[in-house]
Structure 1
């Protein structure tokens, strides 16, 4: 079994079942340093304190040579504060490392892939994120083991202090009226632009309790590239009613099968696969459905105008 050279941040909360599964994969990879961050229980949530304790107890099973550091919160901070501060804590201590949340189950090749990408892109400022999840559902892009993307998938990833130190949790550096013209340099579809613009406004207004959109915008606005494996190396096992964000168990991105990369082959050109990103966002932002709805609306509107015009003609003297 491959033994990773990278430190790992493991972010957990109140789900001992999925936490135990992901911990088993981490234990098999035997990272030299393991950072564990856990948000505190919600006071109004009955039984959550016990679940949090059960989850934290899993970390006591570390049985390989490993330096373990913990950041256990007594009070609940919420996803935005708890996760972003945990990642900041991690990169305050490490120049680079792997981040896994409790529902992101890595496959056999995940740790080896991240280590190899660290080795290759450690000093390449064009590359600012290494993803483990592939959401292309069997579609491969190019002949290499991975492709480059403008998107930032965070279901199991590798990152650097050099990037995270620019993280802006409140998006204070950016103004809403400036965002769309900048995003138009990345995306052309109006529905995708509408969606990103709305997400930006809601995140900046504090209406979405999350940390990852801010990281995505950071990379958008710095013209950065992510590395995405051409097979899926992370499966999200956390979809369901106990999840914070991923509730729909029928979502096509739930429990995607794991693949194997084999020997790593590198792309010849360092350019984003725009079609791959569009394929992901077409689904995530329901672009086709929205296009159909708009076409139907416009059709009804044109028919109404023709009817109205015909009515006036009939009434004319």
Structure 2
């Protein structure tokens, strides 16, 4: 980008100076006028975290453009759920909208303009809750538009508004009602998808999965919100390794190449969720192993018998 980026950029970091340095360089090229940095503290049982966290935070001192830097650093380890949730609460206490990157999400330079333009385009349209930089269609596209609308809140590089984040419910208070009354059937169209998300949401609700992102997805579903998905991939996750919190095993969605978005953007003429693309995403990204699926079915059967 030739001019300074006016939309605030949020950078979420922890203990990975290697990937943080790469992503920081991409942010540096965009020259955001405001940079908000959220950092978690070292884990008590990981002695190397102290040094790694310090090395990671020192990268932020490399800001060499005119920039308002705001820092929200935790002295203790809060974990993924609490640190990101509280950090984004802090962001949207002060700003109406923001672009958000984690320390392993490497964007194409056009990602920033894509997000900024669409944050303006849909600023007052409460149907849209997320602008994503991710595309998991692997070359398939249904239209020639620059983007489509999805139910999935892909968050490896994304943007949103205060008006959307205000609905975020870290406790997932509505989950028992949704679960017990079968409301997922009204969102999803296939039994395997319902089984998958019942398993994920219950695991998150029980704190078996330390995640803010699944809680955010659930929030958006409860609001009937949609996500803008680019028709090309704009952000690559470069953090698949043993140092990662969730993405330890390299798979088919690791290091997906990015492409440059063309401008001016070609906007869809209608605001309809692309269920064909979502079904492909469900099959390719969100799936259970056959063994786990069978275990879930058995557990459901046993629960129905004991009731």
Tell me how far 1:46 sits from its aligned partner. Answer: 2.4
Runs of 4+ in 1 over 3 A off after TM superposition: 176-180
Aligned residue pair count: 292
Tell me how far 1:172 sits from its aligned partner. Answer: 1.6
1:231 and 1:258 in contact (8 A); partners too: yes
SS of corresponding position for 1:98: strand
1:180 and 1:193 in contact (8 A); partners too: no
1:23-53 CA deviation, whole Å, 9 max, x = no partner? 0011111111111011000121121100100
Q: Aligned pair 1:213/2:214, yes or no? A: yes
Closer/same/farther in 2, CA of residues 231 and 177 from structure 1, 3 Å limit: closer
Closer/same/farther in 2, CA of residues 204 and 269 from structure 1, 3 Å limit: same
Tell me how far 1:283 sits from its aligned partner. Answer: 2.0
1:144 and 1:267 in contact (8 A); partners too: yes
SS of corresponding position for 2:282: helix
Closer/same/farther in 2, CA of residues 179 and 100 from structure 1, 3 Å limit: farther
1:104 and 1:236 in contact (8 A); partners too: yes
Q: TM-score, normalised by structure 1?
A: 0.88
CA distance in 2, matches of 1:12, 1:59: 10
Tell me how far 1:177 sits from its aligned partner. Answer: 5.4
Q: How does 1:111-150 map to 2 (within 5 A)?
A: 111-150=112-151
Tell me how far 1:174 sits from its aligned partner. Answer: 3.3
CA RMSD of aligned residues (A): 1.7
Bigger Rg over Cα: 1
1:61-100 CA deviation, whole Å, 9 max, x = no partner? 1111111011111111111111111111111111100111
1:186-207 CA deviation, whole Å, 9 max, x = no partner? 2111011011111111111111
Tell me how far 1:173 sits from its aligned partner. Answer: 3.2
Q: How does 1:1-317 map to 2 (within 5 A)?
A: 1-2=1-2, 3-175=4-176, 178=179, 181-249=182-250, 251-263=251-263, 264-286=265-287, 290=290
2:12 and 2:84 in contact (8 A); partners too: yes
CA distance in 2, matches of 1:143, 1:179: 41
Closer/same/farther in 2, CA of residues 111 and 239 from structure 1, 3 Å limit: same
2:8 and 2:32 in contact (8 A); partners too: yes
SS of corresponding position for 2:99: strand
